[in-house]
């Protein structure tokens, strides 16, 4: 596997200064950026699956917290976001041609982890859209020994009266050549730059919100706005498909903020009830991004994750 040096904007996060980034290519020819934070004596590696609109620098602070607890971290820019290949001429719009294409990105990440000889065993931590990608991956045998999810996108929060319109328009618009357009109510600008901190749906921690805003301002190429109709069509179909499949046989913990307003809460409860050996943790007062929440919240969540990971670690 060919890995070429890639930029990692270390000025953007209070994380370890050991981080390295690499360009690599998926089986279908998409350029991805993978990043990892090496750690001497690591007890394993956390494979971190980001959410929609995210980029590797955002998780430097998370890598630092795992490093304190003895675990290395590896993550990536999914196709269509961060510094990976964008899939539309207008790079502000989120796009995926087929949702299972993200599994090619997962396979590429795993090959990179093996090429770099990252410390084993491997564990998975998946957030939001990464939670949908990660769920399919573990259902299909991803080689990890335990999984943690934060606000996984196992369904999209839509008002009941709007759900039929979302399904209908996400199918109609691509058929009439408008699949690249933004659905109503979404914006070309990133959420953190177009919305105020007050009553935002991501975090109750203002310093973390401002960190995300500053990262986008410093490096606009990382920015991503709303998803296309094609992305919406694919996401709705994927989450419906995943809901029909049996839970994998894998130790799991899922964290859900009590004020979650982005993903479908009911789907998370349904999945966790059917997942043997799993635990659902409701985080009181938290919004969507548990790992970007106030220090006490994110520290407690990471402590729980590390306990699960190390309890299930087998060399």
In this predicted structure, what is the pLDDT of residue 158? 86
Q: How far is CA 296 from the centre of its chain?
A: 21
Does the pLDDT of residue 23 top 80, yes or no? Answer: yes
Does the pLDDT of residue 185 top 90, yes or no? Answer: no
Give, for 255, the enclosing helix (H) or strand (E).
strand 252-257
In this predicted structure, what is the pLDDT of residue 3? 98
Choose the CATH number for 4-311 among 3.40.50.1820, 3.40.190.10, 3.40.718.10, 3.30.470.10. Answer: 3.40.50.1820
Does the pLDDT of residue 12 top 90, yes or no? Answer: no
The residues, any chain, with a CB within 8 Å of residue 130's CB and separated by 6 or more, are 48, 49, 50, 51, 54, 78, 152, 153
Closest CA to 222 of 58, 19, 39, 42: 58
Mean pLDDT, rounded, for 72-78:
99
Closest CA to 136 of 101, 181, 96, 97: 101
Give the whole-angstrom CA distance, residue 87 versus residue 296. Answer: 38
Mean pLDDT, rounded, for 28-37:
98
In this predicted structure, what is the pLDDT of residue 11? 84
Alpha carbons within 13 angstroms on the beta-carbon side of residue 168 total 5
- 193-213: pLDDT as tens digits: 999 999 999 999 999 999 999
Tokens 């790992």 — which residue?
291
Does the pLDDT of residue 161 top 80, yes or no? Answer: no
Give the rounded percent of residues in the chain with a pLDDT score beyond 70.
Answer: 100
Mean pLDDT, rounded, for 168-185:
93
- 122-152: pLDDT as tens digits: 999 999 999 999 999 999 999 999 999 999 9
Is residue 140 within 8 A of residue 241, CB to CB? The reply is: no
Give the whole-angstrom CA distance, residue 99 versus residue 232. Answer: 10
Does the pLDDT of residue 175 top 80, yes or no? Answer: yes
The pairing of strands 147-150 and 122-127 is: parallel
Mean pLDDT, rounded, for 282-310:
99
In this predicted structure, what is the pLDDT of residue 17? 86
Mean pLDDT, rounded, for 49-62:
98
Mean pLDDT, rounded, for 35-60:
98
In this predicted structure, what is the pLDDT of residue 16? 86
In this predicted structure, what is the pLDDT of residue 276? 96
pLDDT bin (cut points 50, 70, 90) of residue 159 is: confident
pLDDT bin (cut points 50, 70, 90) of residue 14 is: confident
Give the whole-angstrom CA distance, residue 245 versus residue 243. Answer: 6
Mean pLDDT, rounded, for 296-302:
99
């Amino acid at each position: 596997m060919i890995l070429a040096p890639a930029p990692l904007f270390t000025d953007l996060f209070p994380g370890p200064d050991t981080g390295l980034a690499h360009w690599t290519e998926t089986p279908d020819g998409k350029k991805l950026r993978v990043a990892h934070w090496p750690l001497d004596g690591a007890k394993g590696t956390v494979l971190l699956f980001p959410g929609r609109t995210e980029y590797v620098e955002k998780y430097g602070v998370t890598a630092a917290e795992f490093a304190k607890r003895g675990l290395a971290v590896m993550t990536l820019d999914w196709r269509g976001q961060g510094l990976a290949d964008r899939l539309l001429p207008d790079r502000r719009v989120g796009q995926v041609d087929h949702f299972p294409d993200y599994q090619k990105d997962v396979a590429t990440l795993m090959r990179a982890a093996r090429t770099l000889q990252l410390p084993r065993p491997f564990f998975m931590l998946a957030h939001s859209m990464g939670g949908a990608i990660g769920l399919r991956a573990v259902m299909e045998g991803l080689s990890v020994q335990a999984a943690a999810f934060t606000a996984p996108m196992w369904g999209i929060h839509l008002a009941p009266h709007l759900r039929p319109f979302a399904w209908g328009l996400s199918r109609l618009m691509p058929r009439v050549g408008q699949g690249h357009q933004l659905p109503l109510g979404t914006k070309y600008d990133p959420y953190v730059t177009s919305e105020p901190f007050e009553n935002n749906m991501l975090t109750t921690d203002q310093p973390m919100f401002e960190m995300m805003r500053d990262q986008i301002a410093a490096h606009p190429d990382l920015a991503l706005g709303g998803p296309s109709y094609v992305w919406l069509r694919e996401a709705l179909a994927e989450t419906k498909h995943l809901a029909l499949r049996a839970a994998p046989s894998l130790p799991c913990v899922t964290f859900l903020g009590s004020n979650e307003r982005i993903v479908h809460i009911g789907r998370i409860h349904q999945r966790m009830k059917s997942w043997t050996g799993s635990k659902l943790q409701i985080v009181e007062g938290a919004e969507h991004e548990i790992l970007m929440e106030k220090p006490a919240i994110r520290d407690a969540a990471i402590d729980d994750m590390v306990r699960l990971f190390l309890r299930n670690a087998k060399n």
